[in-house]
Amino acid sequence: MKTRRKFIKDCGMIAGGAGFTYLSSGYPEIQNFKRSGEGIKLRFRPYELNLQHVFTLASSSRSTTPAMLTEIEYENVIGYGEASMPPYLGESIETVNSFLKLVDLSQFDNPFLMEDILTYVDHLAPGNYAAKASVDIALHDLVGKLMNQPWYRILGLNPEHTPNTSFTIGIDKPDVVREKVKEAKPYKILKVKLGQGNDREMIQSVRNGTDKPICVDVNQGWTDRNMALDTINWLKEQGVIFVEQPMSKKAVDDISWLTQNSPLPIIADEAVQVTADIMKVHGIYSGINIKLMKCGGMRAAYTMIRLARALDMKVMIGCMTETSCAVTAAAQLSPLVDWADLDGNLLISNDVYEGIKIVDGKIILPDLPGIGIRKS
């Protein structure tokens, strides 16, 4: 009792009379919370995502994606996270495993100090963005659950403002493309992969099945800017609304010229990974595609959205092939963006979570705390 009286007296001295009532009722509880002494626990296990279709991009083809599922536990509450490692980003089960072994969260006993915890994680090693995202997402999920609020609400975002999500159609033969167009019936925008020499055939195959708006992703596949502009002019007539990464991220002059002359917005994907890259692509591209696995998680993605908006750039939020965990985490930020490409969970056959739903093509955020998922 004596200690408590002294504590209240100290608080009163620091905070002054006006703060006394608040501090005497609220602050000791937070002190107890901080002093639980249990620390924060991180667990992780590898998981192979099976793709429903062999996935063909301008540069590669594959039927599985390696992933790492993470859990962060504090006082019997568990937050879920995930790293997904498509091979072209350079991370693997081995690199994510090595990175996560470096992460010692037991030194922290207050999960609400997200800035301290995530700065510590960020500084453990350069790169490793998918590994970092797996910690960032799990910590967001944990903290949201401890607050009993979903992240869109913590960030003050309107869940009615989620965009329609696109559904991705990989490069394939016309009959396969037509089947995928049928599969994409619930979606209002289609994202069509181009860049392997059969661009017009791909678009015509899609157009034979639907007149929905299309966005295209060339994945750096075009090499000649005049050919690229001709194709973009033709794509506009076909009802295409924007073009993602038309040429190599290194072809800065060509892309700058293309953006100036293109009737459609040109969006950077491979050319922009983290916040600092936005300054490099500003003035070169019309907008950016943000992905949690590229930038290190929700905190970095939120910063990127804010910076791009301040620079008057278009913003798209996308994903890799992922479970509903990372996809739903990204969807929490989607009320802030122009376009969403959050279909990664629908491209796999062995999801382990339930999260966002797509109703009439629009993202519906779950009414669940944290990032909004439950185990399925």
Left if phi > 0, otherwise alpha if psi is -120 to 50, otherwise beta: which for 82?
beta
Site track for Mg ion across 255-294, x = CB under 5 A: --------------x-------------------------
Residue with tokens 């992969």: 193
Residue nearest to Mg ion (CB): 269
Q: How far apart are CA 64 and CA 82, in angstroms?
A: 16
- Do residues 59 and 88 touch, judged by C-beta distance below 8 A? yes
Which of 269/322 has CB closer to Mg ion? 269
Q: Which is nearer to Mg ion, 217 or 343 (CB)?
A: 217
Q: What is the rounded CA–CA span in Å between residue 216 and residue 169?
A: 10
**From CA 360, how far away is CA 350, in angstroms rounded?**
24
Stretch that binds Mg ion, among 137-145, 147-155, 210-218, 297-305 (CB under 5 A): 210-218
In whole angstroms, the minimum distance from the beta carbon of 347 to Mg ion comes to 14
Stretch that binds Mg ion, among 98-106, 215-223, 278-286, 324-332 (CB under 5 A): 215-223
Q: Which residue, 145 or 291, is less far from Mg ion as judged by CB?
A: 291
Closer residue to Mg ion (CB): 199 or 269 = 269
For residues 312-351, which are near Mg ion according to CB under 5 A? none
In the list 82, 141, 217, 254, the residue contacting Mg ion (rule: CB under 5 A) is 217
122 binds Mg ion (CB under 5 A): no
CB-CB contact of 33 with 330 (8 Å) = no
Residues 6 or more apart whose CB falls under 8 angstroms from that of 7 comprise 28
Q: How many residues bind Mg ion (CB under 5 A)?
A: 3
| Whole-number Cα distances in Å, 262 to 233, 259, 268 | 7, 5, 14
Q: DSSP states of 62-106 as a string? A: EEEEEEEEEEEEETTEEEEEEEE--GGGS--HHHHHHHHHH--GG
Alpha carbon of 4 to those of 13, 66, 166: distances in Å? 14, 53, 57
Shortest distance, CB of residue 162 to Mg ion, whole angstroms?
20
Here the tokens at position 109 are 């006993």
Write down the least CB distance from residue 269 to Mg ion, Å. Answer: 4
Beta strands in 123-272 (DSSP E): 166-169, 189-193, 214-217, 240-244, 266-268
To the nearest whole angstrom, how small is the minimum distance from the Cβ of residue 108 to Mg ion? 35
Q: What are phi and psi of 289, to 5 degrees?
A: -110, 115
Binding mask 231-250 for Mg ion (x = CB under 5 A): -------------x------
Provide the mask over 150-189, with x wherever binding to Mg ion is found by CB under 5 A and - wherever it is not. ----------------------------------------
Smallest distance from Mg ion to CB 145, Å: 32
282 DSSP β-pair partners:
285
Residue type, 355: G
Which region among 69-77, 83-91, 217-225, 257-265 touches Mg ion (by CB under 5 A)?
Answer: 217-225
Region binding Mg ion by CB under 5 A among candidate stretches 5-13, 58-66, 213-221, 301-309: 213-221
Shortest distance, CB of residue 191 to Mg ion, whole angstroms? 8
Element (H, E) at 45: strand 41-56
Instruction: Kindly state the smallest distance separating residue 196's Cβ from Mg ion, in Å.
Output: 14
Residues that bind Mg ion (CB under 5 A): 217, 244, 269
